[in-house]
Amino acid sequence: MHAGCVSNGASSPPPTAPGATADPAEVARSVVAAHRGDRGALLPILHGVQHALGYVPTEVVPVIAAELNLSRADVHGVVSFYRDFRRTSPGRTVVGLCRAEACQAVGADALAAQVEARLGVECGATRADGGVTLDEVFCLGNCALGPAAIVDGRVLGRVTVDTVAALVDSPADAPAGSPAQPEGVGA
């Protein structure tokens, strides 16, 4: 089903604590504890884990399963069903390009090709230097101001390749600096 170029969760907010220090199992247990008593809480729990860790590591699946008295297959099935849930760590910046019809009508396909070339990463992948993850999304509800994109949880309209490139670190060998804000979008 969710194969091919489509990948995980461009719309998820950027992680608060990307990976390294927290013990994933402990994080998962504390997230589960916060949702104790909620009905059918698996999705909110997985969102919570991904928010804390940036993705849903394989090792938390049995932890969540045990806490919720579900089978590991149940939890794995849900993690793998939904596009949002990543199973590997995302890049420092997560870019989602809208590929749905309304954005196609204003050149989203050509934009995607330009962005792939400029950022040096294919749609659905994370660049080797970890600088950026490029995803496809199907509709951000910004269909009158397309092409639309979402960068680290922030929706952008009338997007050009320059808009996106300005928000993403240059590929590894280029010096990493604070990217310039594109005109008309910045605060």
Q: Residues 114-153: x/- map of binding to other proteins (CB under 8 A)?
A: -----------------------xxxxxxxxxx-x-x--x
94 contributes a contact to other proteins by CB under 8 A = no
> Can you read off the two tokens belonging to residue 70?
């579900």
77 contributes a contact to other proteins by CB under 8 A = yes
86 contributes a contact to other proteins by CB under 8 A = no
173 contributes a contact to other proteins by CB under 8 A = no
Give the amino acid at 71.
S
Distances in whole angstroms, Cα of residue 70 to Cα of each of 10, 28, 31, 48, 65? 28, 15, 16, 18, 5
Q: Which of 17, 72, 81, 180 binds other proteins (CB under 8 A)?
A: 81
CB-based burial label for 156 (10 Å; 0-12, 13-18, 19+): buried
Give the amino acid at 56.
V
First to last CA, the chain: 39
Shortest Cβ 184–other proteins spacing (Å) = 5
Shortest Cβ 51–other proteins spacing (Å) = 11
* Cα distance between residue 12 and residue 21, in whole Å: 21
Residue closer to other proteins (CB basis): 23 or 179 = 179
78 contributes a contact to other proteins by CB under 8 A = yes
Q: Which of 100, 125, 161, 166 binds other proteins (CB under 8 A)?
A: 100
* Main-chain dihedrals φ then ψ at residue 114, nearest 5 degrees: -65, -45
CB-based burial label for 10 (10 Å; 0-12, 13-18, 19+): buried
Shortest Cβ 66–other proteins spacing (Å) = 15
2 contributes a contact to other proteins by CB under 8 A = yes
Binding region for other proteins (CB under 8 A): 1-6, 8-9, 11-13, 38-44, 46-47, 74, 77-78, 81-85, 100-106, 109, 113, 137-146, 148, 150, 153-158, 183-187
